[in-house]
Amino acid sequence: MNHVSIRVGTLRGDQKISFDAYVKINDKFVLYLRRGDSFEGQRLKRLKEKKLKKMFILSEDETNYRQYLKTNIESAYDSNSKKDINTRAEIIQGQQQSNVEEVFERPEDKEAYFETKDAAGKYVEFMMKNSAAANAVLNIENTDKNLAHHGVAVATYAISLAQKLKITDPQKTQLLTLGGLLHDIGHHESNINVAQQLDLLTPEELAIYKQHPKKGAERVKDKNHFDQLVTTIINEHEEHIDGSGFPNKLKEKQLDPLSIIVSSANTLDRLITFESVPKLEAPKKLMIDRVGTHPLNHIQLLAEIIKNIK
């Protein structure tokens, strides 16, 4: 029997699966969930806790799996949907996270990039119309400190921030979203633990850490399908408006305004996701400890966004 891998993130929601799902244990495929079951609640939580990214299906079930994905995402984006917003947000978040993982693993795959870009456009359009959905996505806790999940959170904070700044041109917001999703591609092959407080890194590790925007931009710059603006955001997302960021110590005037938005969103979610700062405390911490590094109105607007989440 032939098994093919699928991403766990795509299996969210209450729709019953139309295929058997396997996990691989010591080179053996073990049936984990039968067709007719769904990946709700505890089951999903257990999978996330195991940090399992991939599962397997039989190759003969591939068409069923594709159909499942299509139905799942269409129902999540359906404005007449009767499903509750949290389930819909979980499905949408899962799709975005899987797309990010796909591009992180294979940036040379043109088709995966364009699929991710297209889905980013649909995502931003929906999130800007439906603030309850944006809040529900931001409420999904990143329990396994997953880098792709962090990308989705950064993109979502950036979207909410852009909306409050009245940046609504669809082409711009699509690339802002894509840049937010993919900003940390430079960490993908990193050997250091980036999912922790930075002051726990050794000086050598910190020096490597500070190369990640440059490394990321270099990884994608020869891929002609990557939009220039996305590469710019990857390269500039750790820069600060006062020149205290890295890798190039650029200042506000030298930075793309969309990079500045992603930088503010990234600093916020890094505190929440990797440094375990409670959500409501994070903007206050930015205000006090990082004064001058991000535009003051960004911090004030992010504080408003966070307050509305719960």
CB of 259 to Fe ion, least distance (A): 12
The dihedral sign for the CA sequence 202, 278, 12, 112: negative
Residues 204-223 that bind Fe ion (CB under 5 A): none
Q: Mask: binding to Fe ion, 235-274, rule CB under 5 A, as x and -? A: -------------------------------x--------
Number of residues lying near Fe ion (CB under 5 A): 2
The candidate with the shortest Cα–Cα distance to 260, out of 245, 284, 230, 239, is 239
The candidate with the shortest Cα–Cα distance to 98, out of 159, 31, 160, 147, is 147
CB of 86 to Fe ion, least distance (A): 25
Closer by beta carbon to Fe ion, 87 or else 142: 142
Determine if 173 is a binding residue for Fe ion (CB under 5 A): no
Closer by beta carbon to Fe ion, 15 or else 116: 116
CB of 7 to Fe ion, least distance (A): 21
Closer by beta carbon to Fe ion, 184 or else 239: 184
CB of 250 to Fe ion, least distance (A): 15
Determine if 184 is a binding residue for Fe ion (CB under 5 A): yes
CB atoms within 10 A of CB 161: 25
DSSP 213-269: HHHHHHHHHT-TTS-HHHHHHHHHTT--TBS-SSSS--BGGGS-HHHHHHHHHHHHH
Q: Which residues in this chain contact Fe ion in the complex, by CB under 5 A?
A: 184, 266
